[in-house]
Amino acid sequence: MKQHYRVAVARQFGAPEVISIENHPVQPLAAGEVRVAVRAAGQNPVDARRRAGNFGGQVPLVFGTEFSGIVHESKDPGWAAGDEVVGWGAVGADADLVLTSGDKLAAKPKELPWAVAGGLSGAGQTSLAALAALELQPGDVILVHAAAGGVGSMLVQLAMHQGLVVIGTAGTGNQEYLRQLGVLPVVYGPGLSERVAQAAGGRAIAASIDLAGSMEAGDLARELVSGGAQCITLVPETWQSHGLPLVSVRASAQRFAELMRSYRDGGLQLQVNTLEFNDVVKAHRQMDAKHSRGKLVLEMSDNPYLANSGDAA
Ligand SMILES: NC(=O)c1ccc[n+]([C@@H]2O[C@H](COP(=O)([O-])OP(=O)(O)OC[C@H]3O[C@@H](n4cnc5c(N)ncnc54)[C@H](OP(=O)(O)O)[C@@H]3O)[C@@H](O)[C@H]2O)c1
């Protein structure tokens, strides 16, 4: 009898409720392919945009680009069944099984819990790419919009590890969280420019990185650019509204290794908030609300393909 696996699918664009979990047959592997049993799948707002129909593409859609898991079957000589891995750049990782290629996998560092490993790679590699797009010196002051979210939480820590001083924006409920990370916290909303100047304490802002996509983030970037700052965005909104340079991220095993070095050397932390796979609709509702603190991750602990995989639970 053909084996099946669960996968989150949207057969039309719309609200989170368009997503359902379907059973699909397991297809034979082609040369070079690796099939991984997913243990944790990091959630990324781009999937909420795709689901809503704001990011092109065609239905049916599957979701999930990053994950941690255990190789189930491999036709890539670099990987074997039972290997514990972290993956990125995948299509359809919100599933029991995901098909990928060996160059989009790295060995899962033993010390990383499954949920952290599932959510670290996208946010971390994005953060490194953003920092690499800027010319900065230790001691420079940078501004990060939406500093308390999945990417922001990693980005601010990686920036501080590089010796930068970070001012981060968040709502009132996340000011203490940012302070604990070592960030100079600022509440977003009217008067942002003055509060940022106050937090900078007379120092120039060398760069701003927009993860919020708000009009005020774009407006402030224009103001800062006129004062000589480098201002970039990681979101399409302020690229479209204000023409901010949009950083596109090329994830790689090399960048993952760089991320892990900084993570270990810098004693970085990633706060993860987990939901079960059956709560994938809820995960999309949370992404739509845009108030996650740290990284949202789907836990696949009930994945039947992990059953014989030792310490995967
Ligand atoms: N270019 C790329 O390759 C790339 C890669 C990854 C991610 N991204 C994009 O980067 C963005 C951030 O991703 P993420 O995973 O970090 O998102 P996220 O975790 O959903 O971000 C949530 C955070 O946004 C904050 N926030 C909401 N409205 C805000 C505002 N007006 N000003 C400042 N902060 C605000 C929230 O703070 P409060 O709860 O305190 O309000 C919350 O902590 C997304 O749009 C994502 O698509 C781009």
Distance of alpha carbon 177 from alpha carbon 146, whole angstroms? 12
Kindly give the confidence (pLDDT) of every residue in the chain, 313 residues in length, as a single tens digit, with 9 standing for 90 and above.
469 999 999 999 999 999 999 999 999 999 999 999 999 999 999 999 999 999 999 999 999 999 999 999 999 999 999 999 999 999 999 999 999 999 999 999 999 999 999 999 999 999 999 999 999 999 999 999 999 999 999 999 999 999 999 999 999 999 999 999 999 999 999 999 999 999 999 999 999 999 999 999 999 999 999 999 999 999 999 999 999 999 989 899 999 999 999 989 888 999 999 999 999 999 999 999 999 999 999 999 899 999 865 444 4
Place of tokens 């690796």: 34
Q: How far is the CA of 46 from the centre of ligand 1 (A)?
A: 10
Q: How far is the CA of 151 from the centre of ligand 1 (A)?
A: 7
Q: Is the CB of 287 under 6 A from ligand 1?
A: yes
pLDDT digit string (tens) for 111-157?
999 999 999 999 999 999 999 999 999 999 999 999 999 999 999 99
Backbone angles phi, psi at 29, to 5 degrees: -80, 145
Among 234, 241, 273, the mutation site with the greatest number of ligand 1 atoms within 8 A of its Cβ is 234
Among 291, 296, 297, the mutation site with the greatest number of ligand 1 atoms within 8 A of its Cβ is 291
In the chain, where the domains are located: 4-123+250-312, 134-242
Question: Which atom belonging to ligand 1 lies closest to the Cα atom of 153?
Answer: 16
Fold type of domain 4-123+250-312: Quinone Oxidoreductase; Chain A, domain 1 (3.90.180)
Contact predicate 180/113, CB 8 Å: no
First to last CA, the chain: 27
CATH class of domain segment(s) 134-242: alpha beta
Which pTM does this prediction carry? 0.95
- C-alpha atoms less than 13 angstroms from C-alpha of 119 in its C-beta half-sphere: 28
Question: Which atom belonging to ligand 1 lies closest to the Cα atom of 152?
Answer: 16
Q: How far is the CA of 153 from the centre of ligand 1 (A)?
A: 10
